[in-house]
Structure formats: C-alpha cells, structure tokens
Structure 1
Amino acid sequence: MSARTAPSPASSVPAARFLAAYDALLARWPVPVEALTVRTAHGTTRINACGPRDGRPLVLLHGGGATSALWFANAAAWAGAGHRVLAVDLIGDPGRSVHDGAALDGVPGLLGWLDAVLDGLDVPGADFCGHSYGGWIALEYALHAPDRVGRLALLDPTQCFAGFRPGYLLRVLPLFLPGRTPARARAYLDGESGGGPRLDPDWRELYALGYAGFPASRVVTGPRPSPERLRTLAAPVLTLLAGRSRAHDPVRVAEAARHALPSAEVAILPDVAHHALPMAGAPEVNRRVLDFLSQG
C-alpha cells in the first residue's frame, strides 16, 4: 500500500479554528466523554466514548464531514440506557483522527481499518448506528463482518437502497471545486435544509470550518450493495429516513429498503432534513433506536 503524509491537524490557523469548534461542540455533550485513540496502519483514530464501560458497545459512524461531535443530541440517551457509546471520527475525514499512515486503498481498506479500530478497542462485537455516508459504511461493515455486528440502525443512509436525486448531485458539485470556503459549505447546508428545522449553529460552523480548512483524504466510496448481497445480511436493521431529505427520495428509499429487507423496520420522520436528522429529529430518533436495540 502507498504511504500518505498528512499535515498536522493543528498546523494551520484554519485547522486550529476547526479543532476549537470541535472541542466546543463536544463540550455540549451532556454526559462525561472519554477520548480514546487507536493506532492502526492508516494512522490514529479518535473515538469519543461515554456510558458504562461494561455496557453493550454501540458504534456510531457519522456522515461525511460531520465528525463524531455530531452525536451531541443522541449520546446521552443511548449511554443512559446502558450502552457503551463509541463515536468514531472517520479516518481521513475532518475530525481528530489523523490519517498519516497507509492509504485506505478502497472499500476493503476502509473496512479493514474499522476491523483494526474494534480490535484496538477490544470490542469483538457491537451494535452499529450510522448516519448518511456513515450508514453506508455501517451496512458494508455488517456485510463484511457479520459476526461483529449485532443490530444495525441506519439514519437516512445514502447509497444503501437507492441512489441520489439527480438534482442533488448538481447541488453538491460546487463542494468539490477549487476555492473551498466556509461560506460555500454554509450555503450548501442551508440549501439542503429543505425548509425544515434549522441546523444546530455550532455544528453548522464546525462542518463549514472542516470543509474549508482541515486536511482530508479522498473519500472512499463504492456501489450500492446488490439485492443478492443484501439478502445475506444477518443483522436486524432499522432504517429511519428524513422526510425532507433532498439527497434522495425518502419514499423511494423506504420502498426499496422494505423490498430488499422484508424483516427490517423502516420509517420516515416528517419535517426533518437529511443533515439535521440526528439533531433536530433527536427525540424520535433516540426513542426508536433505543426500542430497536432493546429487542436484542
């Protein structure tokens, strides 16, 4: 595998502003948070942990650019119910993980990195909850390592059961053009809110600062799992969709999820947008996820 050398997250003023915003949002978690790190061949992974150390592990995977600080409205409810919450900063993404080792080299490398993180945490098996891109990673991981995934909660997951809206791809294109600025990221998030509840302002700013000033690796993506692969899925699945999602058609995604996984629980939460689902939709999301996890 090829090596990758990344600048230190604190080596520039924009990155330092981002990390200050990250720490400020993490300080809003209403429970004590333990900062864990795991060294893998790809670099150092940060995990924000809370809840009883002997509780059933619940691994949280955030969406692209969102950071694990995203879960400020959810972690306390899940930890308070007895789960050991392990919120991971994706390697190579804005956050406190540092990708200064080997390249991920595609989807197998990404899943191997997650294997190594769980090994480093001494977690042989866990429940998983992923939002957006993190939902796709969680689903792929459940297919990759079925013995390590108990129950699987997907929050408005992208590229799992249906594709993006064509219009969404056009709207997101400017994010990949030169001249990355916080204003561009803010405009994108505001446009994607879909007229629903406003995004949390602290998280919105964290996302914008990370987009503009934080060193990041090329995003590892892959195709949607085929119907044949989905039929091999062993883990029970809960899929919660944002009724105002502009990333994809939630009705179409719900139909596709029910068709692919007839035993899965699928629900659409109205009046909440894609990025805001874990935050603005927290009361309903927290309740439904806890009910789902308790079935195990």
Structure 2
Amino acid sequence: MSTRPVTGPPAPASLPAFLAAYDEALARWPVPVEPLTVPTPFGATRVNAFGPDDGPPLVLLHGGGATGACWSAGAAALAGAGHRVLAADLVGDPGRSTLDRPRLGGTADLSAWLDAVLDGLGLPAADLAGHSYGGWIALRYALHAPARVGRLALLDPTRCFAGFRPGYLLRALPLFLPPRSAAKARAYLDRESGGTHLDQAWRELYALGFAGFPAARPVTGPRPTRAELRTLTAPVLVLLAERSRAHDSRAVADRARRALPDATVTVLPGVSHHSMLSARPDDLYRRLTDFLAPRS
C-alpha cells in the first residue's frame, strides 16, 4: 500500500528512507509476517500479522512513533505460544497506515478506529496489549467496548494511572519544535533509554519516522478516573519499566494496585520506558504469554 504523512508534504529524503527501513526491519523478524491492509473510515490501517491463523487473536498497539515493527523481540515467543498476533500501525502516527482527514478528533475517534480495525479483521473480540501511548489507547478501548476485549496487558503505560514526570515532558518538548529531524529523535532515545539496551535497527526506524512524518501528533486525552477503572471487566496485566523516566514506576505500580486490586502489577528490573520491548525480552514476553494463556 502507499504511505504518506498524515498532513502536509513529506520530508523529501526521510520518508523513502523510513519506508525502506520499515520493510527491512520486518524482513529481519524471526517469524514470517503477513502484511494486511484494513480499510477504516479514517483511512487504511496496516496490520502486521503473524502466528497460527487459528490461534486466539492478540492485537498489539505500539507507543507513539514506534510503529507496529517494534515487536520483533517478542514475535517468536508470541507466535510460539499459539497466538494470532495482529500488530497495527496506529492511525495518525508514523507507519504504513494512512489518515484520510487532517487530524483525529480525540479518544472517541481512536476507539471508533479500533472498532473498525477489529471489524475489518473479522474479530468480535480479541486480547489487547499496548505499550506506552498504545497502553493508554488499549485501556481507553477496554472501557469503551468491554465485550470486545478478552484480556488487557499494559506495558509501561502512560497517562493510565498517573501523569508524566514534568522533567520528561520538558525534555520531549524540543522534539516537536521545528525542524523535526532524525538526529533529534536519536539523541532523545539515547538519553531516555538511560544506558539500557536499545535495539539499534528500531532506533533508526523511529528516528526516520519522526523526521518523515512532520505532522504526526499523538492524540491527548484525560486519564481514566478511579470510577471508570472500577468498571473494567477484562483481566489486567500491568508491567512497568523500573528505569522509566516517563514516570515513577513504583508510584505508578502502587496507584495501579489501588485502582485495580485484581490486576497483576509488576515492575520489571533493568529496563527503561523506550527499551522495554527489547532490553530483556525473555522476561517480558514470558510474563505476557503466561498472562494470556488459556485458563482451564
């Protein structure tokens, strides 16, 4: 499928380089990936599908700017556990999805988009996992459509149980001031990963996407209230990055346990917010597949 920035002209050099890096990243995955194009009222959505066709469906939502190619370190574990995994490129974000309108209208549009994605995939319901911004979208969706979410996994989710650290926002702000460049994004990731292992191929893909999609902006919205969280019906797993600079992971864990006393909440050692999916994948994906395993 063709890909273009959500609005405005592409950065002439960065976008082709991004598309080549995206395809190269998928080609290195340890499992075969089937690229799907799912029409929605907001534009075409790219979904990278892998795992057995008849496995229980698991929809993955990446963090801001990370693309659906960020899950490579866990692909073999998830497919090996029998899941039919569907890693979407978020609409309005860098990636191979397209947005056929100037911008999204907020959380209602994100939920309507995910409704359309599940409909297009022929899924009445699915397990849902999201990292960072994708965790916030996943949680919002579980509140919007509880009957469509079997299990809910939140991986160092932002704005779900607490806000960002002010210092994190101050360090991120220059990223969005013109000119947007790959060099800015690389420096940001290196600083925020805090010396933890960061997958270098993904780092470059993130940087090129940041520069190639100058109009991309995350949708912002309120944190769920305690009353809203009490209405959740899906079993919930919350995994937090010990060395996250986005928030105080232990304080977030305490808040998550108070808000969702039946949830499984764990702080994973030795990983940062941005390196969480790749720094210690055996631990992360073992916990995730254990949580998603069918219960007798």
TM-score bracket for the superposition, by shorter chain length: over 0.9
Secondary structure in structure 2 of the residue aligned to 1:74: helix
| Cα offset, 1:217, TM superposition | 3.6
Summarize the alignment of residues 120-269 of structure 1 with structure 2, pairs less than 5 Å apart: 120-197=120-197, 199-269=198-268
Q: Output the amino acid matched with 1:234.
A: T
| Cα offset, 1:8, TM superposition | 8.1
C-alpha change, 1:280 and 1:184, in structure 2 (3 Å) is same
CA distance in 2, matches of 1:161, 1:293: 22
CA distance in 2, matches of 1:139, 1:27: 31
* Contact preservation (8 Å) 1:41, 1:101: no
Secondary structure in structure 1 of the residue aligned to 2:179: coil
CA distance in 2, matches of 1:263, 1:151: 13
C-alpha change, 1:180 and 1:6, in structure 2 (3 Å) is closer
| Cα offset, 1:103, TM superposition | 4.1
* Contact preservation (8 Å) 2:241, 2:273: yes
Secondary structure in structure 1 of the residue aligned to 2:87: strand
Q: Output the amino acid matched with 1:44.
A: A
Q: Output the amino acid matched with 1:204.
A: R
CA distance in 2, matches of 1:269, 1:158: 16
C-alpha change, 1:187 and 1:96, in structure 2 (3 Å) is same
* Contact preservation (8 Å) 1:146, 1:235: yes
Structure 1 residues 68-126: Cα deviation after superposition (integer angstroms, max 9, x where no partner)? 00000112211111100000000111000011247421110111011001100101100
Q: Output the amino acid matched with 1:113.
A: W
User: Larger deviation: 138-147 or 74-83?
Assistant: 74-83
* Contact preservation (8 Å) 1:18, 1:214: no
* Contact preservation (8 Å) 2:6, 2:213: no
Q: CA RMSD in A?
A: 1.6
Moved over 6 A (4+): none
| Cα offset, 1:215, TM superposition | 4.8
Q: Output the amino acid matched with 2:142.
A: A
Residue aligning to 2:66: 66
C-alpha change, 1:84 and 1:216, in structure 2 (3 Å) is farther
Secondary structure in structure 2 of the residue aligned to 1:179: coil
CA distance in 2, matches of 1:174, 1:216: 15
| Cα offset, 1:146, TM superposition | 0.2
Secondary structure in structure 2 of the residue aligned to 1:278: coil
Residue aligning to 1:28: 28
Q: Where in structure 2 are there 5+ consecutive unaligned residues?
A: none
Residue aligning to 2:270: 271
Secondary structure in structure 1 of the residue aligned to 2:29: coil
Summarize the alignment of residues 25-104 of structure 1 with structure 2, pairs less than 5 Å apart: 25-101=25-101, 103-104=103-104
CA distance in 2, matches of 1:42, 1:236: 30
Secondary structure in structure 1 of the residue aligned to 2:188: helix
* Contact preservation (8 Å) 2:162, 2:252: yes
Q: Where in structure 1 are there 5+ consecutive unaligned residues?
A: none
CA distance in 1, matches of 2:155, 2:6: 33
Q: Output the amino acid matched with 2:202.
A: W
Q: Output the amino acid matched with 2:67.
A: T
Residue aligning to 1:116: 116
Secondary structure in structure 2 of the residue aligned to 1:255: helix
Secondary structure in structure 2 of the residue aligned to 1:24: helix
Residue aligning to 2:107: 107
Structure 1 residues 194-240: Cα deviation after superposition (integer angstroms, max 9, x where no partner)? 2322x111100111111112254432121110000000000110011
Q: Output the amino acid matched with 1:22.
A: Y
Secondary structure in structure 1 of the residue aligned to 2:30: coil
Secondary structure in structure 1 of the residue aligned to 2:278: helix
* Contact preservation (8 Å) 1:243, 1:269: yes
Secondary structure in structure 2 of the residue aligned to 1:54: coil
